[in-house]
Structure 1
């Protein structure tokens, strides 16, 4: 009985030391170098993004910051150079924006098989950015492969034709 309890205690102790070691090895965005910040995901699961500000001498300074964008199934991830190249993204891009989706060359690389099937982090980011614009990324990529020009036109119009709407009625004030 004593042997079993001692073994359980040792196993528990070793497990706790292992868990402490993984916690101490975690990273936050603010500790990352700016050249690996873009498309990284912190230990908390929040996306890292590059921000710029003016320094005391007037020069632009870049800092890696933690965004409020949470990634559901990834943690502690620094994107590989292979994915950065395959997807046509730029680690030096400041902030997070869907504007790149309007560039047919970018969308072509994003929708390429090398990117789409091997770079889940980047695809997840742009899937959500496209959804924020009312666009389903798999449909955009299918259109990109068959008719790239049409895909960008549909994305930039963001839906159907604009219809006439009645002007709002003027406000009347009671005195």
Structure 2
């Protein structure tokens, strides 16, 4: 009798865990508004929630689609848990995939919290790659001040390296207005003989 009761408790739990953590077919286009964001399809692509204006009614409509962003190999058929959404400071109705949230110090503190960073590998993998795309190493950012380091935020904001233009250095000299015949012609810094 006790084994039947235990089995009846464990079977639904196992089915739920299988559906949430993988093992079932997840197609982004079939997910609803409340499960799309932070999900990974069975093919390993991240799902994104999109908002559209609907026809004549101008009502907002949401749809879920597969993005071109691939999750790490061990994440497929993954629908993020409510616990991770809460622990990481996420919103189930987040549209698209963006690194903008990495600029928010409150979000970074939650992402770097032990509950999220150690307990929600799918979310951490997503933001690890977004941060890397901005030139920031997420473990270092989380290691310093729990993810609230202003330096990493500044690196993300600048989001790019400014390089000097290729080629030789050229300097220009401003001459007073004069007729074209009186202008000297220069070749490698030396005046050319008159024509």
Sort the TM-score into its range (normalised by shorter chain).
0.7 to 0.9
Match of 1:14 in 2: none
Match of 1:59 in 2: 59
The CA deviation at 1:151 is 3.5
| Cα offsets for 1:72-124 (capped at 9, x unmatched) | 21111110111001111112111000000001001110011110000000000
- Distance in 1 (CA, whole Å) between partners of 2:82 and 2:92 is 10
- Distance in 2 (CA, whole Å) between partners of 1:154 and 1:126 is 15
TM-score, scaled to structure 2 = 0.66
Q: What SS is found at the alignment partner of 1:37?
A: coil
1:47 aligns with 2:75: no
Q: Which runs of 4+ in 1 moved over 6 A?
A: none
- Distance in 1 (CA, whole Å) between partners of 2:40 and 2:52 is 22
- Distance in 2 (CA, whole Å) between partners of 1:83 and 1:144 is 21
- Distance in 2 (CA, whole Å) between partners of 1:43 and 1:166 is 45
Q: What SS is found at the alignment partner of 2:34?
A: helix
The CA deviation at 1:70 is 1.3
Q: Is the radius of gyration larger for structure 1 or structure 2?
A: 2
The CA deviation at 1:127 is 0.5
- Distance in 1 (CA, whole Å) between partners of 2:77 and 2:135 is 29
Match of 2:99 in 1: 98
Aligned residues: 143
Specify whether residues 116 and 146 from structure 1 end up closer, same or farther in structure 2 by C-alpha distance, changes over 3 A only: closer
- Distance in 1 (CA, whole Å) between partners of 2:50 and 2:150 is 32
Higher percent of residues as helix = 1
TM-score, scaled to structure 1 = 0.73
- Distance in 2 (CA, whole Å) between partners of 1:46 and 1:147 is 30
